[in-house]
Amino acid sequence: MFKKVLIANRGEIAVRVIRACRELGIPTVAVYSQADAKSLHVRLATDAFCIGPAQSSESYLNIPAIITTAIMTGCDAIHPGYGFMSERADFVDICEQHNIKFIGPSAESMRKMGDKATARRTMIENNVPVTPGTGILKTVQEAREFAHKAGYPIILKATAGGGGKGMRIVRNDDELETNMTLCQQEAQKFFGNPGVYAEKFLENPRHIEVQIIGDSFGNVIHLGERDCSIQRRHQKLLEEAPSPAIDEKTRQEMGAAAVRAAKAIKYEGAGTCEFLLDHDGKWYFMEMNTRVQVEHCVTEMISQVDIVREQIRVAAGKELGYKQEDIKLRGHAIECRINAEDSENGFMPCPGTIDAYVAPGGFGVRVDSHSYPGYKIPPYYDSMIGKLICWGETRNQARRRMYQALKEYVILGVKTTIPFHQQIVEDEVFISGKFNTGFIEDYYKRIGKEFK
């Protein structure tokens, strides 16, 4: 096992990794920006070092500072969490050059899946369904020819993209040239790569993810699927597992496809294959996230597999602790992302000081958070305060438990999404389970409010 692990992240995921390392008996090193000096992960780690000012580019994305700290403190592994360095193949290369294990997939696997056009080709070669699409587009005419063949609407995507950025929906020829230019500009700005490709756009599908874990011995398992369709402009707000839209046959087919995809690139670590499910029940590969995800908790709750712990174990050269036949999914879990945002004003971030903080509890209730009374939410990063996860024997029991937990969750001093989530889990369409990625916009229409 590793001698010491540096956590190259912040917030709740840094706390989550520290706790997993503690259970494995591994000392930890936290790195933090000046804005995060009083963050919980700094207090919980064995050691902590400031690596720069508040700006991410000078701290959590500062590769020399991270590597220097790891070497100075004797760390033989780095856990990247999600975001920041988690999908930077060049960072993996640098870790290897300094004999530091990156807790995640190889740089080669990351590059194959990080480039969306390459990922599509890999899926096609391994009999995984994909939506009709193109390679990297060189001209507007290429995009126009594809649109006429596949039929509008189409979606333009940054080949190096993620997180809902670098994406543009195009519904006719008149919109194509402008949107392609804007998409290329966004791709360059956010990812340093202007390449874009096109896919047939599915109107309001379900967004389904399959969790996989692989080891260095070629073993890969899946832990079932989760439904991430409740989202606002590609930003997830609520997730649940399993999906109320998936039957057992489809679950097994999707899981097998995700395992084939992971084995094809010799994937090591925790990862997620994302699929789109259309109104006819057909499903298509969208992309692979080569990291642990925010919503991994709902999968942990129904599978009873500690994904982060297993991620660390396989990175240390251990064989997977589970075979596929060992995985038995039980019950239902729902996760609400509790953000410091004003849902009445376009989900505008609301940084500030938390005056009072009381987390809910009880059977089947889990809170992953880095917040506490007096904690100051900085304006420089994601506005997440924490994640509330509730489990039940049935979906309705999990939903009712979530509603009660949300009522118990007290956060004063900043506006949060708690009232919004209370409304969602009591909404009749959500209760029915018959929703899609257009749910939030539809919800605002039904309650007579403007969708921002």
Per the listing, tokens 């692989």 go with: 214
Mean pLDDT of 349-370: 97
Range from 153-162, 245-254, 308-317 carrying the lowest mean pLDDT: 153-162
Number of Cβ atoms within 10 Å of the Cβ of 74: 12
% the chain with pLDDT above 90? 87
- Residue range 196-209, pLDDT digits in tens: 999 999 989 999 99
What pLDDT was estimated at residue 189? Answer: 87
pLDDT band for 451, please (50, 70, 90 cuts). confident
Who contacts 17 (Cβ-Cβ below 8 Å, separation ≥6)?
A: 5, 7, 9, 28, 79, 81, 308, 312
Catalytic one among 88, 111, 226, 291? 291
> b/e for 42-72, b at 16 or more Cβ within 10 A?
bebbebbbbbbeeebeebbbbeebbbebbee
What pLDDT was estimated at residue 160? Answer: 80
C-alpha 81, offset from chain centre: 10
What pLDDT was estimated at residue 4? Answer: 98
Range from 22-36, 114-128, 146-160 carrying the lowest mean pLDDT: 114-128
What pLDDT was estimated at residue 161? Answer: 73
pLDDT band for 163, please (50, 70, 90 cuts). low
What pLDDT was estimated at residue 39? Answer: 96
C-alpha 209, offset from chain centre: 10
pLDDT band for 233, please (50, 70, 90 cuts). confident
73: tokens are: 């403190």
- Residue whose C-alpha is closest to residue 364's, from 410, 401, 404: 401
Mean pLDDT of the chain: 95
What pLDDT was estimated at residue 95? Answer: 98
Q: Is residue 288 within 8 Å of 209, Cβ to Cβ?
A: no
Residue 260 annotated among the catalytic residues of the structure: no
- Residue range 120-141, pLDDT digits in tens: 888 999 899 998 889 889 999 9
